[in-house]
Structures are given as structure tokens and as C-alpha cells.
Amino acid sequence: MIFERIILLCRPGFEKECAGEIIELANQHGFPAYIQTSDTSGVVNLISSGQSCLDFTQHVHFHSLVFARQWLVSVKDTLTLPESNRLPDILKAINDIQVNDSHKSFHDVELNYPDTNEGKSLSKFCKQFKPHLLAVLKKKHWLSAQSNWHLQLFFTDSCHVNIGITPLNNGAKDVMGIPRLKMPGAAPSRSTLKLDEAIQWFLSTRQQSELFKSGMKAVDLGAAPGGWSWQLVQRGCLVTAIDNGPMQDELMKSGMIEHLKTDAFTYLPKKKINWLVCDMAERPLHVSRLMARWFTGKHCEHAIFNLKLPMKKRLASVQECIQLLHQQLSKTGIKYQIQAKQLYHDRGEITVCIITNS
Ligand SMILES: C[S@@+](CC[C@H](N)C(=O)[O-])C[C@H]1O[C@@H](n2cnc3c(N)ncnc32)[C@H](O)[C@@H]1O
């Protein structure tokens, strides 16, 4: 059995960008493959011409993909299941999976479906089906905490499934790449979830505690009404919020925020700050240049910001912005890392994180 397919899940409407990224990587690695997808399906398939996609994925760091939320490698053919008693066919397909481990075992099992209205109608089915599957996997001793693989079932409807695997250390840690974040009642806006997700996606637990310490200084460009500032305050930061619009009164009562009604494109702090964040609906290149100026001028250590994508040539626009950031930051002589992702809470945008070792 050979893994001839990579299934990538993405935000519906961004299939072209997701496909563009993976096929570019396949070409760079001399991996012969083609794309199968359809608009607004939320799914992209990379199909190889006979070679193992598992080998290819071992050369690609999942975190380097901007538009894929999750990926799994699977056999080429989709399994067609009967209306009832689906388990025997599924177990047979799982039995055929061969990974490098000495004996067949999976860390856990995840049931996936596309993030479309049609896909979401499978949520109830998956919730009901999973306990049955888990019970059999346990009985067969196919689950082990030591295994390096997630077992993945990707349903397009209740009778069609692809069965595959994702390496534990090279994929999204949340099922379907969708973090279950609870909207904090006290936060001034839903955007707060974007920054929360960004911090959890881009920074390891250790980095989160090392890079956010009580009393650290942050600047929030385009801060109102304060969802991002609220996240920074929760992490102990003293925030300068830049926006001509009003900040939420309750948040201002924390005493941790200074609100300046001024232009975010001209404001600069007197002393270097720890964190710069920016969530403005501006042209992506314009924002990238602004961020680059903060780093080249040594005004901030780290940054998290959004890039609102244009209607057309979105992948090219992302690549242009990232290239500009590399060009500018490499001049500083500082060690830095740039990561970018279309997070679950991002809509027509992506989020970028720059960490330096200054
Ligand atoms: C999407 S909202 C930010 C939401 C905020 N991150 C939150 O979590 O509540 C964008 C904000 O950017 C501000 N903005 C846009 N251009 C700006 C500029 N040149 N200077 C200052 N603020 C600006 C707008 O006034 C608006 O409040």
C-alpha cells in the first residue's frame, strides 16, 4: 500500500492559495504530483504519480504552510462505505496502513470533514461514530501513547472516507486545525480570539511564558475597541494603544493601558518595546513596510500582525510581503524568525509573527 495523496484542509475560498503553496514545494523537491480541488470546497488534494507522499511530507515543515489548516497522507482511492455497518470496511483499510513503527499503533484517531456548511452537517455523525471506532481500536491494541502518528479519517459525506495519517510532530495539533477557543466574556471584541490563536499557534508553551512576562511593554496599532490589547493585558503587558477610535471603558480601568489618539503610521515609542501588534485594514505591503521599519529602527523585539489580503493574486501578495520583511530584517544583523498563517479566526487575511533573539 502506498500513500499517494495528501489531503490539505483550508478555509473555503482559499483552495487556490493552499494548492499553489503545496505544488510549489512539490516542484522544488522534484516530487511529481498534481492538484485536485474545487472552489469553496475547503479541501485540496495533492496526488503523486506513484511516489510516496509520506516521504515528501517528511521534507516539508507543516508550520511553513500559510494556507493549510491540517494535512493527512492517505491512499489515492476514497473508500465507499455501506449505509450501515461502516466499521468493517474502515478497519480493513486501517489494517492495510503501514508506517515505520515496528507494530501498528496510533496515538489517537481524529475524524475530519470540510469546513463548509455541507461538511459541518457531518459533525453529529462523526461525534456519534467516533466512540464506536475508538472502542474497536482499543480492543485491537491499535492505540498507544508512544505512537508518532495520528490516525485520520476524512469524510466528505457519511459514505465516503479517506483514511490516512498525520505525524504527531508535523501537523496541526487541533482536529481539522481548528482550535476550540472560548470567547472571554470580558474581552471588548471577538478579534481577541485572533491574537489568542496567533500566540498559541506561533509560540511554544515555553516561548509563551518566556516572551510574555509581567511588566513587558507592548504597542497595539489600530487597537480600538481593544480585543488585542485585552489579550496583552491578560499576559501582564503594559500596553500603548494607538487608535483614533474609542477603547472600551472597562479595559481602560485596568490601568495597564495608555490610549493615544494618533496615526499608527507615524507613532514611534521613545524606548524599545517588547511587543508590537497591529490589526489594521490597510494594504498588506503598506503594513509590512511599517512593521519592517519598527525592526530596522530597533523599536520592538517581537511582532504579531495581520495582513489583509487583496481579492486577486493573494498568494503572490503574501510572498511579496514575506520577501520584503526578510530583505529588511536581514539588514539588521539580528537573528529572527518569520512565521505566517491563515489562522482559523482569520477571514480574508493572514497573521504574521516575527520573533527576534536580540
Ligand atoms: C479591525 S480594528 C482593530 C480591532 C482590534 N484589534 C480589537 O481587537 O478590538 C482596526 C482599527 O484600526 C484603526 N486604524 C486604522 N487605520 C489607522 C491609523 N492609520 N492609525 C490609527 N488607527 C488606525 C481603526 O480606527 C480601527 O479601530
- In a domain, residue 186? The reply is no
If one residue of 195, 221, 229, 243 were mutated to test the ligand 1 pocket, choosing by the most ligand atoms within 8 A of its CB, it would be 243
Ligand 1 atom closest to 277 (CA):
6
The verdict on 343 and 261 lying in the same domain is yes
Between residues 358 and 303, which one has the greater pLDDT? 303
* Spacing of C-alpha 226 from chain mean position: 23
Task: Please identify, among 110, 142, 177, the residue that sits at the C-terminal boundary of a domain.
Answer: 177
Distance 288 CA to ligand 1 centre (A): 16
Query: Which CATH number fits the domain that encloses residue 54?
Result: 3.30.2130.30
Choice among 308, 331, 335, 341 that is catalytic: 308
Distance of alpha carbon 224 from alpha carbon 204, whole angstroms: 28
The verdict on 131 and 241 lying in the same domain is no
Average pLDDT of the chain, as a whole number: 96
pLDDT at 50: 87
Ligand 1 atom closest to 188 (CA):
9
Report the amino acid identity of residue 47.
Answer: I
pLDDT in tens, 76-128: 899 999 999 999 999 999 999 987 655 689 999 999 999 999 999 999 999 99
Statement: the pTM of the whole predicted model exceeds 0.85: yes
pLDDT at 99: 78
Domain around 41: 5-177
Which one-letter DSSP state was computed for residue 334? -
∠ CA 17-18-22 to the nearest 5 degrees? 115
At 216, is the pLDDT very low, low, confident or very high (cuts 50, 70, 90)?
very high
Query: What is the number of domains present in the chain?
Result: 2
Report the amino acid identity of residue 199.
Answer: I
pLDDT at 209: 96
- In a domain, residue 115? The reply is yes
Q: Known catalytic residue: 173?
A: no
Q: What does the longest C-alpha to C-alpha distance in the chain come to?
A: 68
- In a domain, residue 254? The reply is yes
The verdict on 47 and 13 lying in the same domain is yes
pLDDT in tens, 226-251: 999 999 999 999 999 999 999 999 99
